[in-house]
Amino acid sequence: MFKLDKLGPIRQSLEAIVGPENVRTDEAEILMYSYDAGMARARPEVVLRFTAADQVAPVIKILHAAAIPFVPRLAGTNLSGGTIALKGGAILNLSALKKIHRIDTENRVAVVEPGVVNLELQNALAPFGFFYAPDPASQKVSTIGGNIGENAGGPQCLKYGVTSDNVEKLEVVTPEGEVKTWSYRDPGPDLMSFMIGSEGTLGIVTRAWLKIIKKPEYLQTSAAAFSSLDNAMLAVTKIISSGIVPRALEAMDSVSLEAAGGNSKLSLPNGTEALLIIELDGNDRTRLKETAERIETICAQNSSTYFKTAGTEEERETLWAIRKGAYPAMARLAPNVLVEDGVVPRPKLPEALKETREILSSYKLTASLLFHAGDGNLHPNIIFDGRDMQEVKRVKKAGYEILKSCIRLGGTISGEHGIGVEKRVAMAWLYDPKTLYFFKSLKTAFDPEGLSNPDKILPISVDNRHQVPVAPADLSAGAKTILDELRLRAKSGTKTLVLGSGTKIKASAHKVRPLRLKNLNKLLDLDRENLTVKAEAGIKITELKRQLREQGFALAVPGLEGSLGGTIAAKTFPEIRSLLLGLDIAMADGTALVLGGKTVKNVAGYDAVKLFCGSLGAYGIILSATLKILAADSAGDPRLEPSGEKKALAFEPRDYHYRLKKVLDPENLLNPWIYGGTG
């Protein structure tokens, strides 16, 4: 922890930038910034309040030179202790950076500062007939910067994607105080998407270019009640796998309904155990009506006891008030609430809920179950009294058991709330030591001194008492052969040309040995209910699309000539980032990394999957990829026939590209000419 006397020599310089009134060390201010919406507490030594975005870089330069750690902070509503100053140092209060610079409806982009509150942006967009898709339940207070820091989601992210899918470009102040502007379309690795969800540990966002969407003409919102939670979950799986893409598909159990007064407000039948809220949107009223009827039929086939479509805006608002009121209603029942945030592949929801209920009952805890059902994202809201240490222990243990259950079911430990301090220990249950080390290397590449929001996301030590056996990487025979070969080459220092199907480069020109991937061409897993496909990297996009079509599914990627791995690595269709859920990677030393998987939301650790988009085979070799797919009869869905950039842009590596190369392939063994020299 740094001592306050370190501040002495730099205080004047800081005051010169932000003003003396904004360098705060008084007790009231320090106490106020010692906590956030999570359970952790720690005192910063100083709170710096910014009134202009261009103050951030010079302040970071000073803090960096003085080796003072810093934590960017906005509304502090994160639920994982992400803004707690674990190492003391400075809290960077960015909440006065609230300018909406531009709303450009022609190019469908809004340019904003990080302190803009999510709902204020929605309100500013409404008169133009536009909206910004991410809509966390905290949107009345949480900010765009915080949403980016956590890769926040919300009900309508089911159709429109999470924060990461809705950002076009970011201005970032690096942990050393340099200003960078990154877009996901830039040639080379997708540094912009990699920043999103990094919880302030890789730098500070000072400006964001956000994708804005034209408001659909019609909304159709329905509620379906069930006398069993299992039946409600079966209906969810059927709705999704039938190709319907609701704007939102939310679920509440009887405890949430009771707390939010849902039973009486909607006159639900006695014995209601679960309520689904299903919202559709579009510009074709007839089609919406037909889809709502299909949904009603699916619910009836799964024994729904009630189905009602809101006939007026007031009725629609009542439904959402019940959903959005459930958390505050629970919070009124006890001094504290822990909101868990595990995710499972959607067809595993019934099992996950059964296990969650058993765990809560075995720890004698009261909780409501609220969840973004369409995303497989569970939010048990456990109420407790934080002054009762025994109860706190039980709550923490139950939370951990729930996360382990999600991992066992092929899921992950956070869908939208982040890891922060509170789930660091659980990272070691989800990832093997090699992957954790890989994440640590990424952090080191961006922040060698470890000053930007230190000690977050990664576990300090692996706690074996809680170890859940993680299934060994389920790799194909072809992938294992590649790994064996890379291990041999690494031993002898042999450099490799990664040969995808469309590679034009000649091995002889670079004194490298080719490694062909075209035999990695199998479709490994088609999960019809989850709407995901896993395929080996060498399969051609056209072939993958053909095989999917035969099975009644579609991939929202243009009919490109190249292979799946090549399309990702060369970023010939940058929008593929929004379809990518997981990658299996062979690193230069022949070890395998399993990143992401079959859950449609995942903010556990750095979004390294995005880093391999545009990595050109120089950071690691993509062995296979898991992607979201659509049911082929999602007729009229514009995503079915996307137009795409079909040519990779010329890539000139720069600073952060080199830094990443150095930690991921220090011997420059893979496609070595990209980073200079052929050995």
Ligand X SMILES: Cc1cc2nc3c(=O)[nH]c(=O)nc-3n(C[C@H](O)[C@H](O)[C@H](O)COP(=O)(O)OP(=O)(O)OC[C@H]3O[C@@H](n4cnc5c(N)ncnc54)[C@H](O)[C@@H]3O)c2cc1C
Cβ proximity to ligand X, 317 vs 474, nearer residue: 317
Does 166 contact ligand X by CB under 6 A?
no
Going from the C-alpha of 239 to that of each of 49, 232, 300, the distances in angstroms are 48, 11, 12
Cβ proximity to ligand X, 94 vs 365, nearer residue: 94
Residues paired with residue 366 on neighbouring β-strands, in sequence order: 383
Does 453 contact ligand X by CB under 6 A?
yes
In whole angstroms, the minimum distance from the beta carbon of 603 to ligand X comes to 8
Cβ proximity to ligand X, 198 vs 521, nearer residue: 198
Q: What is the CA radius of gyration of the chain?
A: 25
In whole angstroms, the minimum distance from the beta carbon of 83 to ligand X comes to 5
Q: Residue 379: what residue type?
A: H
Give the 3-state secondary structure of residue 238. helix
In whole angstroms, the minimum distance from the beta carbon of 265 to ligand X comes to 20
- Residues 57-86: x/- map of binding to ligand X (CB under 6 A)? --------------xxxxxxxxx--xx---
560's tokens: 């490109």
Does 152 contact ligand X by CB under 6 A?
yes
Decide if 601 contacts 162 (C-beta within 8 A): yes
Decide if 232 contacts 374 (C-beta within 8 A): no
Cα four-point dihedral sign 145, 148, 149, 152 = positive
CB-side exposure of 112: number of CA atoms within 13 Å? 31
Does 584 contact ligand X by CB under 6 A?
no
Among 2, 14, 23, 36, binds ligand X (CB under 6 A): 36
In whole angstroms, the minimum distance from the beta carbon of 56 to ligand X comes to 8
The DSSP code for 672 is G
In whole angstroms, the minimum distance from the beta carbon of 145 to ligand X comes to 3
Decide if 303 contacts 227 (C-beta within 8 A): yes
Cβ proximity to ligand X, 70 vs 675, nearer residue: 70
Cα–chain-centroid distance for residue 386?
29
Using the rule CB under 6 A, give the single segment among 137-145, 421-429, 524-532, 565-573 that binds ligand X: 137-145
Give Cβ neighbours of residue 672 (< 8 Å, ≥ 6 apart).
495, 510, 512, 618, 678, 679
Cβ proximity to ligand X, 204 vs 669, nearer residue: 204
Among 154, 500, 565, 614, binds ligand X (CB under 6 A): 154
Cβ proximity to ligand X, 147 vs 567, nearer residue: 147
Does 177 contact ligand X by CB under 6 A?
no
Among 88, 89, 149, 565, binds ligand X (CB under 6 A): 149
Among 190, 355, 375, 416, binds ligand X (CB under 6 A): 416
In whole angstroms, the minimum distance from the beta carbon of 237 to ligand X comes to 22
553's tokens: 């599914």
Among 145, 350, 500, 562, binds ligand X (CB under 6 A): 145
88 by Cβ neighbours in 10 Å (0-12 / 13-18 / 19+) ranks as buried
Cβ proximity to ligand X, 207 vs 510, nearer residue: 207
The CA distance from 555 to 548, in Å, is 7
The CA distance from 651 to 675, in Å, is 10
567's tokens: 């399309």
Give the residue carrying structure tokens 């990699």: 194
Cβ proximity to ligand X, 72 vs 399, nearer residue: 72
Residues paired with residue 437 on neighbouring β-strands, in sequence order: none
Among 200, 558, 574, 597, binds ligand X (CB under 6 A): 200
Going from the C-alpha of 367 to that of each of 232, 277, 325, 334, 619, the distances in angstroms are 18, 20, 15, 11, 44
Number of residues that bind ligand X (CB under 6 A): 36
- 210: phi > 0 → left, psi -120 to 50 → alpha, else beta; which? beta
Rounded to the nearest 10 degrees, what angle do helices 285-301 and 229-241 cross at? 140
In whole angstroms, the minimum distance from the beta carbon of 439 to ligand X comes to 16
Among 169, 417, 423, 424, binds ligand X (CB under 6 A): 417
- Residues 316-335: x/- map of binding to ligand X (CB under 6 A)? -----------x--------
Among 69, 88, 89, 136, binds ligand X (CB under 6 A): 136
In whole angstroms, the minimum distance from the beta carbon of 352 to ligand X comes to 18
Residues in contact with ligand X by CB under 6 A are 36-37, 71-79, 82-83, 94, 114, 136-138, 142-143, 145-147, 149-150, 152-154, 199-200, 204-205, 327, 416-417, 453
